[in-house]
Structure 1
């Protein structure tokens, strides 16, 4: 479980760096984006590529980028 949280944090951090919104989210939000994005990415893109802690890295990062982009779209600053 702890290993999944750590890998989820790195996936969320990578997604935040790709979308340029990771710094404004915070560590907890990066972990949640990584864990939720991993689930979304593996559902959409399958489980191919290298894997750590039961998460396929490439689909997980792609899913986390989608999650970060959608969340930042809805919670972004209006103005």
Structure 2
């Protein structure tokens, strides 16, 4: 139970830091930040491996970088869809 709670809190924290680095907001507030954190954790570990401190199942540094990349890519996709619509 505590492991799940720590993972969710870390996902929110990582997603919030990723949003701040890109200076672009994820829609959905804390839920959007949590999605960005989980996606960033997966993307960061896939691209950069598992190095640095690991908290709540997240390699923190690659997860933050992956989260920033995810938010950036989502922002680009959102802008492209707005132009065509």
Query: One fold, TM greater than 0.5?
Result: yes
Could you give the per-residue CA deviations for residues 12-70 of structure 1, whole angstroms, max 9, x where no partner exists? 00000001113x53111110000111001001100000111011100000100110001
Q: TM-score, normalised by structure 1?
A: 0.89
Question: Structure 2 regions of 5+ residues with no counterpart?
Answer: none
Distance across 2 between alignment mates of 1:72 and 1:28:
17
Aligned residue in 2 for 1:38: 41
Q: Does 1:50 align with 2:48?
A: no
Paired positions, count: 78
Where 2:33 maps in the other structure, the secondary structure is helix
Q: Which runs of 4+ in 1 moved over 4 A?
A: none
Residue 70 of structure 1 is matched in structure 2 by 73
Aligned CA RMSD, in angstroms, stands at 1.5
Q: Secondary structure at the match of 1:48?
A: coil
TM-score of the two chains, using structure 2 as the length reference? 0.84
Task: Pick the aligned partner of 1:11 from 14, 18, 28.
Answer: 14
